[in-house]
Amino acid sequence: ALPPDWVCPVCGASKDQFEKE
């Protein structure tokens, strides 16, 4: 699981954006 404030270090997407993709 990812922390709620996690951000993709590669694409810079927030966790919500990243998991939705």
What tokens does 12 get? Answer: 């810079």
Please report the pLDDT score of residue 1 as a whole number. Answer: 82
What tokens does 5 get? Answer: 């404030």
Rounded Cα–Cα distance for residues 2 and 15 (Å): 7
- Residues in the chain where the model's pLDDT stays below 70: none
pTM score of the predicted model: 0.38
Residue 21 CA, distance from chain mean position = 10
Rounded Cα–Cα distance for residues 16 and 5 (Å): 9
